[in-house]
């Protein structure tokens, strides 16, 4: 070989690419693809209230269920 440094850099770049690809796949698989570890996970919802000013907040289920002031009138 005329330039062994090129081969070393090529192997390191391939190893880095394969490792990054494996790490990203592991995160995507565990966060997005696997079901949630609870019963009836397809029934879970997240409530979010958007105000006219553009500011939003997450609403807890107990606050929504037990406080009629937090529910908008239809």
The pLDDT, as a whole number, for residue 26 is 94
**Per-domain residue ranges of the chain:** 1-32
> CA-based diameter of the chain, in Å?
78
The pLDDT, as a whole number, for residue 57 is 62
The pLDDT, as a whole number, for residue 64 is 47
Q: Exposure string (b/e) for 22-47, b if CB count within 10 Å is 16 or more?
A: eeeeeeeeeeeeeeeeeeeeeeeeee
Q: Is this structure's pTM higher than 0.75?
A: no
List pLDDT tens digits, range 14-70. 999 999 999 999 999 988 887 777 787 777 777 666 677 766 665 555 544 444 444
User: How far apart, in whole angstroms, are the C-alpha atoms of residue 44 and residue 38?
Assistant: 10
User: How far apart, in whole angstroms, are the C-alpha atoms of residue 32 and residue 12?
Assistant: 30
């Amino acid at each position: 070989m005329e330039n062994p440094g090129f081969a070393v850099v090529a192997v390191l770049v391939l190893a880095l690419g394969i490792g990054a690809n494996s790490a990203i796949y592991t995160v995507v698989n565990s966060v997005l693809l696997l079901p949630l570890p609870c019963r009836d996970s397809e029934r879970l919802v997240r409530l979010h209230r958007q105000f006219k000013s553009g500011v939003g907040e997450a609403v807890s289920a107990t606050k929504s269920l037990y406080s009629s002031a937090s529910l908008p009138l239809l």
